[in-house]
């Protein structure tokens, strides 16, 4: 058990209120959070609905018998919870290792609150120190988009399946994912906008707005970036 991760999750559970419709991102943190949510529902008899950002999260919810809803039924969610690959003291985040960044960004935009939960090993001074920028791209436009990103100074790779799949991995939206390294990102908002201006880019993993709070778990406690 990663205690720092668990301490962030434990704090995030305090935001849960009976009757909420909750967006859930993707990844190991979210999976652990769902397990704790199930315990909370069983203990307190509360009624919650969930909108998953990925097939992974959907299957986890379905397996545990939790109520699955959609943005069609609930165009504005009460609150969403997510993990991240890297966060910084300025309240920026890099996301997308799990290839769910586009739908996660949608949840962040269409929720009254968007909470990120991470362990302290993912906290840096400025994002880009530890993680790369994930970029979802339309397969048809992969090579020209890569060329544009390289011209912007990035090291770019097409994400491959490695042991689990030969060739590029496919997102839940049927697209490819690029991993772009820009080094330390001084102006995340500007970079995010520049990336999204490249025709063929679906979305990038720089989260620079809509984050209500980042809960950073430590071995014994947590801190919040608000």
Q: Which residues lie near ligand 5RP (CB under 6 A)?
A: 25-29, 82-85, 95-101, 104
**Closer residue to ligand 5RP in complex, CB, 52/96:** 96
**Closer residue to ligand 5RP in complex, CB, 83/188:** 83
149 in Cβ contact with 204 (< 8 Å): no
CB of 208 to ligand 5RP, least distance (A): 14
**Closer residue to ligand 5RP in complex, CB, 99/211:** 99
CB of 82 to ligand 5RP, least distance (A): 5
Please state, as a whole number, how many other Cβ atoms lie within 10 Å of the Cβ of residue 113.
18
133 in Cβ contact with 94 (< 8 Å): yes
End-to-end distance of the chain based on CA atoms, in angstroms?
26
Look-up: residue for tokens 């301490």? 7
* Phi/psi at 92 (5° precision): -105, 155
Please list the active-site residues: 104
CB of 194 to ligand 5RP, least distance (A): 21
Look-up: residue for tokens 């090291």? 155
């Amino acid at each position: 058990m990663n205690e720092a991760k668990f301490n962030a999750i434990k704090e995030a559970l305090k935001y849960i209120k009976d009757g909420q419709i909750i967006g859930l991102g993707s990844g190991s943190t979210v999976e652990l959070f769902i397990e704790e949510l199930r315990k909370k529902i069983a203990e307190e008899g509360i009624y919650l609905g969930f909108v998953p950002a990925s097939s992974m999260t959907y299957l986890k919810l379905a397996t545990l018998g939790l109520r699955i809803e959609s943005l069609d039924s609930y165009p504005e969610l009460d609150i969403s919870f997510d993990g991240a690959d890297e966060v910084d003291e300025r309240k920026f985040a890099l996301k997308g290792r799990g290839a769910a960044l586009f739908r996660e960004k949608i949840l962040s935009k269409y929720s009254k609150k968007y909470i990120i939960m991470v362990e302290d090993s993912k906290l840096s001074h400025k994002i880009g120190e530890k993680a790369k920028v994930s970029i979802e791209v339309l397969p048809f436009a992969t090579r020209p988009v890569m060329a544009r990103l390289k011209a912007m100074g990035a090291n770019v790779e097409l994400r491959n399946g490695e042991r689990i799949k030969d060739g590029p991995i496919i997102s839940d939206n049927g697209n490819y994912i690029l991993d772009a390294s820009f080094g330390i990102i001084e102006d995340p908002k500007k970079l995010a906008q520049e990336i999204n201006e490249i025709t063929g880019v679906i979305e990038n993993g720089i989260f620079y707005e809509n984050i209500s709070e980042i809960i950073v778990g430590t071995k014994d406690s947590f801190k919040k970036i608000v």
